[in-house]
Structures are given as structure tokens and as C-alpha cells.
Amino acid sequence: MNSNLKVLAGLALCALLAPASPLADAPRAAAPNVIQGIGVSDAAGGVELEIRGTRAPSYTVFKLQDPPRLVVDLAGADVSAVSAPVAVGKGGVREVSTAQYQDDRSAVGRVIVALDAGARYEVAPRDRAVVVKVAAADGPAPAAERKVAVAAPSPATPSSAAEEKLPASDHVLSRRADEAAVSRPATAVLGARARQGAVALALDGEVGRFEVLELEDPPRLAVDLYGVSKAPRSAVALEGPFRQARFGRDLGKVRVVLDAAGALPRCEVKRAAGGLVIALAGSSAPGRALAQAKAAAPSPEAKAEPVKVITAQSQAAGFTATAPAYALSGAPQKREYTGRRITLDFHDIEIRNLLRLIADVSKKNIVVADDVTGKVTVALRNVPWDQALDLVLKTKGLDKEEMGNVIRIAKIEEIAKEQTARAEAQKARAPLVPLKVRIIPVNFARSGDVAARVKDVLTDRGTVTTDDRTNVLIVKDIPEALARAEGLVRNLDTEIPQVRIESRIVEASSNFNQAIGVQWGGNATASAATGNPTGLFFPNIASASGAAGGGPSIGTAGTPNYAVNLPAAIGQGSGGGLGFQFGSAGGAFNLNLRLSALENRGVVKTISAPSVSTVDNKEATIGQGISIPFSQVSASGVNTVFIEAKLELKVTPHISADGSVLMKIKVTNNSPNPQLTGANGQPSISKREAETEALVKDGETTVIGGIYTRQTASSVAEVPFFGKIPILGFFFRTKSESDQNTELLVFITPRILNRQATTAIATGAAGGQP
């Protein structure tokens, strides 16, 4: 009976075009729902709790964790008469307790069911009671959870975001995910603070993926930061539309919950340097009370039809969300809808009655043309009212015009005809509008460069000239065109971002040389001078000596008289040697032996650090070195040309809106090499160059290239046959080894000098021309 009275009241209100009373006000006017008791009984696989009252309940259900518990908030209810807590201890329920609250609209009776871990539940109304069926983790699962959304939000919120798990879909008003590739992923939330009507979330890096959810009962905004594992333990108090920020950690993400002080405001979550910014998009949205109305009475000639309930859910007051696409004309929806969400389910409803309901939910004044008639069948769930209105108008071949708070609805042909007539009238009046002159100063760009862009937004009568001395534009046109021109100049005339490019050219080389050599020889003489003649007429004198250093003359010994002359390259400041000499008393027999060894090690490290600053998209060059003269012979004579051997950095940067720098880089480090000379003794040029393009974040360092060379050598010089004899062969050979390593690395670090200019350009590009 009570339901029939509500239906008749809704029909009467629609017929009289009177504003429908929100359902949220019903508990305030009605008598309190006195909760008489909580019954506990066994059910299949668990227990059944029956919360009995004096009238049909209106309630909200949400689940909390740590410890797990189910909270049932009864709007306009009084639970003071219930004897609590009630110990259960079976079927997944530990105990049941109650609490009484008072919000700004009505009393709220809260029933708290303490659950076992993994317990599942089902909530449903039954006459004047709310039935909660709970099944243990090992029992059969109850049916899908059913909830009745009410206007009054819960007066208490979880103490931390970690307790707040993903609510049921009835409490998620809208959802949006954003994902982007980042070079320095964030791992921790550093804090939150309110500033200039926005909330800034500070992180230690960049967020790769985040998800934003608008939630109701109570109104709040949740931001899930994926890949982030650390967050503050305590809540942070805020000012303005949000009371506080709560933080909680979950598997693979951190949830930040912003509790609204009242109605959830419209806001937009944007990426920013050092974290995210929740920026307000306008004034606070109207309260998120659920409005409920009934369909208008059917026309006399139509059959009576079942009356459907329209639930006007909370207005999408968070970020601007694009509505889902509906295949009406085969093309996707491009408009963004921000109206309060509404559910419509009607069969053959008069379109005028449907427009009355949309007018009531939207709080807009709707004027309908006389020829707008007919019926329409709709089944839309949880869509913005402005999207629902567009769908209905397109279905019936209608269009709308908005003038402030008034929406005029007529046939498409009629509105198109009126718009064409207005355009023609405006075009006819344009030559009669007096021209005005406006001087527009240009601060950062050259007026001549901007003038070409301004011409595109002027009318045929408009002109633009420049004054290079004062760098201003002199624009002459009608007032509307002057406003467009000035807006375009303000967007284009922004401070040019500047960037400093720092480079490091690191050269490291090491060398190792080792050599071992031997020299030995001697002489043997038979002659009267040495007292041992041969006693023969021929040969009367005989002599034998080493000839590796040159042969001796008869009667003299060669100096040196080495038979094997394979020394190491020793000398002053390098290596060492040891010599032995043996000889007879008369000098007839002599033996000389010298051992030499050499080992060298060296390490050289050179760091060159050229740095240059320039503006966006402009090439900059910096260098240092010498010019080497070279003689060049030609038909006209000998000419002297200079070849440069220098360290040089050339770079052309382009700064993107997200703080990255795209650079075209050329780095050279050329130096003279005196070890390699030309025909006239001129040194050669050792070249080291790198030329590439790289995309680097502001302040980060990248290696754009490197060259690594290693040269090893091993050589053996020996006397044939004798040098291969084991052990004894050491005296007939010399051995040397060398190992040289050279490494070249080039590092580049861009640093944006005026980040505010980059942010301004990015904001202007996103916002477009005013």
C-alpha cells in the first residue's frame, strides 16, 4: 500500500510539472525507524541475521578490513533499544554490535557485524527488516550482494585507506585509468597538501599508471597508484572541499582517499612534476542525494503501463569523464558529459513526460516546441542526464539550444533553419559594424612572426601591421575579431624555454709492455802476441769472435763481440740489465754475457666537460682547441691552410611538455698526434666524434656513445734452430709483450632553466585558444 501511494504521488507531481521531492528528504520528515531487535538463526552453511524495525528500511552497506567487518547504516533509524553486543561465534560471524549517529539530515543507526576471515555475505530487504546472510569461508557462497543506495552518507569513514576495499559497483560513480611510460617510476608517496584550491600529491618519482574512482556514501575520491609501495601511516588534514587525505597500502599499489567535507567537488587529476595534482574544475557540485521520481500518468488513449522508478544517482562531480559510446549512428561519441547520473527504464513513455523527469533531475528549465510529440522506449542505467537527453533527442530527430539555465527543444530542421537565418543576418550586419583599432604588445616573440598567425582569425575587413621598434601588433577589425586576435597572441606569446646541455667526455687508456733479452759473445785468438802461435806458416794467426755487432780485423778483437745480440730496449729511466765477462790471463780467450729486462705500466684518464645554454629549437655551439698550419702546394704557389683540432659540442634541443628534452647532438674531441707526421713534419689529427639524437628527461644523464679498443701484441726474436732448444734456447732468443686499452664515453645531461615557461606552454597547448 505504501508503494502504491508513492507511485500516485509521483504521477501527480509529473502531471503538474512540480519539482519532485528528493527521496533523501523522506527520512527527515517521517517518524524514526525504531529497530526492535536483531535475530540470529542458522542457515545453510552459515547464519542469518534479521534486523527488525517498525517500517521498511532504507540502508547502506559497506565492508571494512583489518579486522573484517560488515557495516549496515540504517537511515532515519534508532538502534538504542537493541541489546548489544550480541555474541554469535558461528557461521562466519563473531559478534554483532550497534552504534547511533546523527548527520546533518537524519539519525543513522549502525549495525556492525564482525566477520571471520574469508566470510561471504548477502544483504537484502524483507518487509520491515534487513536480512544479512553470512557464509563461512568453507561454506557455500551466498547469492550476489544487493544494496539499496540512500542519500545519507555514512557519518564515519574508515581510519585508513587500507581498510577501504573496492566498494560495490552501486557506490562507484565513475572510474578512469591513466597510464604512461615513465623513466623514473615512483615507489613512495611523500605527502599531500592543499594549495590554491587543489590537492597536490608528492611522490618520489613519476606514476606510470593510476586509477581514479568517485565514490559515494560517504562522498570521497580515491586514487590508486600502481607500482607504489610506501605511503605515510597517518592521515593528513586538508583545507577546502576535502577534509583529509588517507593512505593505505595494498598488493602492488597505494590507495589515497580524499574525504569530501561536503558534496564531492568536480576535479581533474593531472600529472605534474613531482607527483599528481587534483585540480578543482569548478564550484562544488550539488549534494549527492539520490532523487527518485515516478513516471507521468499515461495519456487517455494509451493503455496503462507499468510505472518505472527513475533513480537519479550522484552527479559526476569528479574528473570530466567521457560517456560510453552507443551505436546509434555508427560513429563514437565525442562529447564529454558531466551531468548527474540517472537511470531510466520506460516502455512507450510520452516524450514530454520524459523531458519533465530530466528537467527535474538536472534542475534545468526546459522549453518544448508544440510539434514535439510521440513516445519513446528507453533503458539506460547510470548515465549522465545530459547524455540521456542527447540520446533521446537524436532518437526522435530533435535538437536543443542552451541559453544559460534554459534548454529549448525543437525539431532539428527548425533549429537548423533558425541558426542559418541568424548566421545570414549576422553576415549581413558585419559590413555595418564599425571597425576598431587595438594595439597588442608582444613580449617574447617577434611581432612579425606572430602577425602571420593573427591574419587567419581576422575578417575580410581586418588588417594587421607591426611596429618593430616597440614590438607591437596594430590590429584593425570588428570587436569580435579583435578579441580572437588578442586571445591568440596571448597563447602564442609565451616565454621561450631555455635549457643547459652539460656533457662529459671521458677518455681512459692503459698500457703494459714487457721484454726480456740476452746478449753474449767472445773471442779466441792463436798468435805469437798471445803466447799461443799455431806453429804453422799458414795460418800462423787464427782468431774467432762474435760477429753480431760487426766483424773484427786480424789481430784485434771486435767491440762489442756479440755472437747473439737480442737485448731488451732498456735505457736511462727504463728497464735493467746485468753483464758478465770471463777471459784468460793473456787475453787469448774472452767471454761476455749481458741479460736485460724491461716492463712498463701506464694509466691515463682525461675528462672534458663542455657545457652550453640555448633556447628551445635553436642550435648552440661551444668549442676549444688549436689550429694547425699545413702547407699546400698548388699552381699559384704555396698556400698555408689551418686545420682545427679542438673539443666541440653542437646541440639543438627541443623541450616537450612533459619535461623531456629531445636533442640533436654532435660532440667532437680532435687532437694532434705527433707520433704520426706528414711529409713536411706536420702532425696528424686524431678524431673522436659522436653524432646522434636522444630523448632525455630533465636533469637525467644518458650515455650517447662509447668506443672501446684493445691492442695486444707478442713478439719473439731468435737464432734459428738454437732458439728452439729447451732451456738452452733462452740464450738464443728475446721475447716482448704489450697490451694497450683505450676507452671513450660521452655523457649528456640536459637541465631546463625555466620550468615555469615549459609548464605554461603545456597548459596553453592543452587548453587551446580561448
- The pLDDT score that the predictor gives to residue 652 is 93
Fold entry, domain 169-284: Immunoglobulin-like (2.60.40)
DSSP notation for 268-285: EEEEETTEEEEEEEEEEP
| Mean pLDDT, residues 722-733 taken together | 88
Q: Output 535 or 698, whichever has higher pLDDT.
A: 698
Which whole number is the average pLDDT over 45-63?
83
- Tens of pLDDT, residue by residue over 201-247, are 989 888 888 888 888 777 888 898 988 888 887 888 888 788 888 88
Task: Enumerate helices (H) and strands (E) in the chain, giving the number of each.
Answer: 8, 47
Q: What is the pLDDT of residue 141?
A: 59
CATH topology identical between 23-150 and 291-426: no
Q: Give φ, ψ of 124 to 5 degrees.
A: -155, 150
Res. 286 pLDDT band, cuts 50 70 90:
very low
Residue 331's pLDDT band (cuts 50, 70, 90): very low
Q: How is 76-108 classified by DSSP, letter by letter?
A: TEE-TTS---EEEEETTEEEEEEEEEE-SSSEE
**Is residue 520 predicted with pLDDT exceeding 50?**
yes
What is the longest distance spanned by two Cα atoms in the chain?
163
DSSP string, 127-164: TTEEEEEEE-TTSPPPPPP-----SSPPS---SSGGGB
What is the C-alpha separation between 627 and 67, in angstroms, rounded?
79
CB 321 within 8 A of CB 39: no
Res. 475: pLDDT tops 90:
yes
Cα 500 to chain centroid, rounded: 23
Question: What is the C-alpha to C-alpha distance for residues 567 and 738, in angstroms, rounded to an integer?
Answer: 16
Cα separation, 310 vs 574, in Å, equals 100
Q: Model confidence over 344-375: pLDDT tens digits?
A: 888 888 898 889 889 888 888 999 999 999 99
Residue 344 near residue 378, CB atoms below 8 Å:
yes
Residue 241 confidence (pLDDT): 81
Predicted confidence band of residue 550 (pLDDT cuts 50, 70, 90): low
- In one-letter notation, the amino acid at residue 89 is G
Confidence category of residue 196, pLDDT binned at 50, 70, 90? low
User: Are the C-beta atoms of residues 10 and 294 closer than 8 Å to each other?
Assistant: yes
Provide the edge-to-edge strand list for the sheet that holds 69-75: 59-64, 69-75, 107-115, 93-102, 86-90
| d(C-alpha 544, C-alpha 552), whole Å | 9
Domain definitions of the chain by residue range = 23-150, 169-284, 291-426, 433-493, 526-597, 604-756
Strand pairing of 129-135 and 120-126? antiparallel
Q: Answer whether 647's CB lies under 8 Å from 606's CB.
A: no
Share the mean pLDDT of the chain.
77
On the 0-12 / 13-18 / 19+ scale of CB atoms within 10 A, 7 is middle
Q: Is 640 exposed, middle or buried (0-12, 13-18, 19+ CB in 10 A)?
A: exposed
pLDDT for residue 473 is more than 50: yes
Residue 189: CB atoms within 10 A of its CB come to 25
pLDDT of residue 283: 34
Q: Taking the mean position of all CA atoms in its chain, how far away is CA 754?
A: 20
Q: How confident is the model at residue 410 (pLDDT cuts 50, 70, 90)?
A: very high
C-alpha distances out from residue 459 to 431, 456, 480, 484, Å: 10, 8, 9, 11
CATH no. of 23-150? 2.60.40.3500
The CATH class of the 433-493 domain is: alpha beta
Q: What confidence score (pLDDT) does residue 139 get? A: 66
Instruction: Answer for the pair 561, 521: CB distance below 8 angstroms, yes or no.
Output: yes
Q: 654-694 pLDDT, tens per residue?
A: 988 778 899 999 988 888 887 777 767 778 888 888 889 99
Nearest to 281 by CA among 221, 333, 238, 226: 221
Q: For the domain bounded by 291-426, which CATH number is listed?
A: 3.55.50.30
Distance of CA 431 to the CA centre of its chain: 51
**Could you give the CA distance from residue 766 to residue 398 in angstroms, rounded to a whole number?**
33
pLDDT at 406: 92
Distances (CA, A) of 701 to 32, 655, 697: 68, 16, 8
Question: Mean pLDDT, to the nearest integer, of 313-322?
Answer: 33
Q: Is the pLDDT of residue 127 over 90?
A: no
**Residue matched to cell numbers 590590429:** 475
Strands 406-411 and 365-368: parallel
